[in-house]
Each structure stands twice: as structure tokens, then as C-alpha cells.
Structure 1
Amino acid sequence: MSNLKPEVSNSDHVQGNDAATITIVEFGDYQCPFCGDAHPIIKEIEDTFGDQIKFVFRNFPLQESHQYAFSAAAAAEAAALQGKFWEMHDALYENQYRLDENLFEELAETVGLDMEKFQQDFTSEAVKEKVDNDFESGVRSGVNGTPSFYVNGTKFDGDAAALHQMLEESTE
């Protein structure tokens, strides 16, 4: 059984209720089609279960197969430094079908970022390190593809739809 390493901390991007009984961590890649498919289901899970869950996203860019995955993760992390991680996260998945190197600045403008700061942060060492650390945590946690989900620290074997189903059964 694979467990999440390290545990969820202040360095993570968290949405939802801090006091929630269920913590879901997704290791995702913004260019991965399966992550793209999972995105609306995760939104649905958040809508359905509300305060019962806390959702955490960690970057796991599969650079060998996805040319823009690392840059997309860097764009989300650069947005995070301006308090707009989730806006950029959602925008990247919603525009996944047209992901290329020109999209990041367009989305940064759309979500209302300070463009000069975004451009500096996008290529900064701190942003690169955050993405690398997330990736490393995935490797240590036994992630072997994206998306990978962990529920309360334990790897969940299944996709987002199966996760939704499991949550429905466990919260009835």
C-alpha cells in the first residue's frame, strides 16, 4: 500500500474545509488527457461533498511525454505567488486542448496577474523548485501515472469517477 510522502502541509495548495474528515490529494499533469477528464469530476466532488472534503493538488509533470507539462505547472506556481493558484489551475485544464507556450501569458492576463511579476516568477528558481519538490513527493509516494489520488494519505486505486463513487458510498 502506497502512502503519501510527505504529508499535506502549508506548502501545498489546498481547497475546501481545513477541518474536513476526508483529504484528497491529486498528483496531476496539466497536459495529461486523463487529468483533463478528471478535472470536471473533481469539481463535481467538491460541489457534492463541500465541507466534508479538503482537496490538495500537487504537480506531477510527465515531461517525457508532455512537452508543456512542466511549463504549465510553473505557470500555476507563478500564479500561486500572486494568490491565484486555483484560478490558473482551472484555466489550464479548461484550455488544455490548446496548450502551448503562448497560452500561459494569455491565461495570466485572464486571471488578472501582474504580468511583470508573473514573467519573473514563471522562470524563477523558487517556482522550479516547488514543481520539482511536488514531483519528488509523487515519486516517494509511489505515483506511477497521472492523475493519482490519495485519500487520507493512502493511494486510491482508481480514476476520478471511481473516487466519486467511493465517496458517495462512504458518506451515505
Structure 2
Amino acid sequence: MSFDRDRGLLFVPPSTQDHIKGMVNATVVLVMYGDYECSQNADVFRLIKVIGRQLSVSLGENYLCFIFRHFPQVQIHPHAQRAAEAAEAAAAQGQFWQMHEMLFIHQQELGNGYLVEYANRLGLDISQFLQDLSKGAYVNLINADIEGGLQSGVEAAPALFINGIRYLDRWTVEQIMAAIVAAND
């Protein structure tokens, strides 16, 4: 297991302000800093979904908590910031995880027109969605995620923290699952 204990501690602890699947007081808390326009991020998110299903069957629903935080890498992904803002605008209407999934599924199509189409598919209030995007309502929230990531030593996404410690091993179901189970030892 490869954990970076020197530069790899999670600076901002998990809280109810985060986007959470599971319970914050779960046995293991997995925090992902992610970028919607990066294919590796989508792959890692799919791995985490598989791991989450397997762990909830074998160890119970309250074993793993998954938290997603934004880390758009705008220098290489020009649509990542706007996609993060769209996810937050959807969150304001109770649809974060649905938009989150949609953005990863369609990560090659993240222009403004597509974002509105996804919001429409989710049944969001489009005028509210557009208003939130046009006034940059969630830029500060996304910047806070980025700042917390930087303070935790994150330089690129995806970045995972398991119970507050940076995960640096291979991105496979087996390796991540082993690290999650070992975090409880």
C-alpha cells in the first residue's frame, strides 16, 4: 500500500458541506478531488462505484463514505470549471449526483449548450440553472475545494484520500479496495 504520510494528509476534514454518498461517520471515508473533463477521473469514479457496491454488500451500507470535491484543471481542460459550476447549480436543485454522473458519461461534450441539455434532461429549473451559471454563483465554493486540495498536496486530479491519507497506489479496483480495507486496520 502506498500512502504519502508526509505530504498527503487531507487538510479540510469531511463535513456535511461536502457532496456525500454514505455517512460521514462511516468506517472509511474516501475523498476524491476530481475534474469532469479528464477521462482518468471518470475511470476512477467508475471504479469507486464498483468498490462501493461490493463493500456495501460484503461489509454493510455504513462501511464506506464517498465524498467528491472539485479540482478542475483549467489549464488543460477548458470546460472543467464550467462543468463543476453546472454540477453545483444542479446541487442547488437537489440533483448533484445525477448531474455528476451525466458530466462523467458525456465528458467529451461539456460546452454550455450541452450543460443546459443535461440540466433539462434532469428536469431542473432551467432559468434558475442559467442564472446560477451566468452570475458565477458557485465559483467561490469550487475555489474553496481547489484551495483545500492544494493545501492537501493535490497537484492534479484525480486525487484520493482514504481516511485523510493520500492514496498513491495503482488505480485498480483491487488496489483501491485493498487500501480501503487496510485503512480500517
Q: Tell me the TM-score normalised to structure 2 length.
A: 0.86
When Rg is computed on C-alpha atoms for both structures, the one with the higher figure is 2
Amino acid of the residue matched to residue 108 of structure 2?
Y
Gaps of 5+ in 2: 1-5
Match of 1:66 in 2: 77
Q: For the Cα contact (< 8 Å) 1:42–1:160, is it kept in 2?
A: no
Identify the range of structure 1 (157-166 vs 89-98) with the bigger mean alpha-carbon deviation. 157-166
Identify the match of residue 16 of structure 2 among 10, 24, 28. 10
Q: For the Cα contact (< 8 Å) 1:29–1:62, is it kept in 2?
A: yes
Identify the match of residue 56 of structure 1 among 67, 74, 90. 67
Amino acid of the residue matched to residue 176 of structure 2?
L
Q: For the Cα contact (< 8 Å) 1:13–1:56, is it kept in 2?
A: yes
For 2:154 and 2:34, the matched residues in 1 are separated by: 10
Match of 1:104 in 2: 115
Q: Tell me the TM-score normalised to structure 1 length.
A: 0.92
Identify the range of structure 1 (110-119 vs 52-61) with the bigger mean alpha-carbon deviation. 110-119
| Structure 1 residue 100, shift from structure 2 partner | 2.4
Q: For the Cα contact (< 8 Å) 1:147–1:159, is it kept in 2?
A: no
Structure with higher helix content: 1
Q: Alpha carbons of 1:10 and 1:169: their partners in 2 closer, same or farther (altered >3 Å)?
A: closer
Match of 2:3 in 1: none
Match of 2:39 in 1: 33
Gaps of 5+ in 1: none
| Structure 1 residue 170, shift from structure 2 partner | 6.2
User: Between the two proteins, what is the percent identity of the paired residues?
Assistant: 34
For 2:178 and 2:108, the matched residues in 1 are separated by: 27
Q: For the Cα contact (< 8 Å) 1:38–1:159, is it kept in 2?
A: no
SS at match of 1:126: coil
Q: What is the aligned-residue RMSD (CA, Å)?
A: 1.8
Q: What number of residue pairs does the alignment pair up?
A: 172
Q: Alpha carbons of 1:63 and 1:109: their partners in 2 closer, same or farther (altered >3 Å)?
A: same
Match of 1:43 in 2: 49
1:84 aligns to 2:68 (yes or no): no
